[in-house]
Amino acid sequence: MRNTVIVGAQWGDEGKAKITDLLAEYADVIIRYQGGCNAGHTVVVNNETYKFHLVPSGVLYKNKFCFIGAGTVIHPETFLKETEELKKRGVDLSSLKISPLATITLPYHIDIDGISENTSGKNKIGTTKKGIGPTYSDKVGRYGIKVQDLYDEEALNSRLDAILPLKNKILEKVYGSKIYTKDEMIKYCKEYAKIFEPYICSEWVDKLTKSLKEDKKILFEGAQGIMLDIDYGTYPYVTSSNPIGGGAATGSGIGPTHIENVIGVTKAYITRVGEGPFVTELKDETGEKIRTIGGEFGTTTGRPRRCGWFDAVLSRYCVLVGGLTQMAITKIDVLNDFDELKVCTAYKDKRNGKIYKDYPTNINLHNYLEPVYETFKGWKSDISNAKTIEDLPENAKIYLNKLEELVGIPIKIISVGPNRDQTIIIENPFK
| Residue 132 within binding range of ligand IMO, rule CB under 6 A | yes
Using CB distances below 5 to 8 A depending on partner kind, what does residue 126 bind out of ligand GDP, ligand IMO, Mg ion, none? ligand IMO
**Interacting residues with ligand IMO between 17 and 46 (CB under 6 A):** 38-41
Residue 330 binds which entry of Mg ion, ligand IMO, ligand GDP, none, CB below 5-8 Å type-dependent: ligand GDP
CA distance 183 to 150: 14
Q: Has 13 been annotated as catalytic?
A: yes
Does position 138 bind Mg ion by CB under 5 A? no
Please pick, from the candidates 44, 80, 115, 212, the single residue that binds ligand GDP as defined by CB under 6 A: 44
Phi/psi of residue 247, nearest 5 degrees: -60, -25
Separation CA 416–CA 431 (nearest Å): 21
State how far the Cα of 1 lies from the Cα of 319, in Å rounded to an integer.
Answer: 21
Beta carbon nearer to ligand GDP, 18 or 159: 18
Length of the chain: 431
Which residue in 228, 290, 324, 396 binds ligand IMO (CB under 6 A)?
A: 228
Whole-Å CA distances, 28 to 23, 86, 99, 299: 10, 20, 17, 27
Q: Binding partner of residue 128 among ligand IMO, ligand GDP, Mg ion, none, CB under 5 to 8 Å per kind?
A: ligand IMO
User: In the window 334-353, what residues touch ligand GDP (CB under 6 A)?
Assistant: 334
Catalytic residue list contains 41: yes
CA–CA separation, 80 vs 245, rounded Å? Answer: 28
At residue 393, what is the residue type?
Answer: P
Partner in contact with 274, chosen from ligand GDP, ligand IMO, Mg ion, none, beta carbon below 5 to 8 Å by kind: ligand IMO
Query: What separation in angstroms does the CA of 79 have from each of 76, 223, 268, 338?
Result: 5, 15, 32, 40
Candidates 406, 320, 314, 316; CA nearest to 11 is 314
The verdict on 299 binding Mg ion (CB under 5 A) reads yes
Active-site residue, from 21, 28, 41, 206 = 41
Q: CB nearest ligand IMO: which residue?
A: 274
Q: Mark the segment that binds ligand IMO (CB under 6 A) among 21-29, 82-90, 158-166, 236-244.
A: 236-244
Count residues near ligand GDP (CB under 6 A).
Answer: 22
Which is nearer to ligand GDP, 225 or 253 (by Cβ)? 225
Residues forming the site for Mg ion (CB under 5 A): 13, 40, 299
Q: Which residues are catalytic?
A: 13, 41
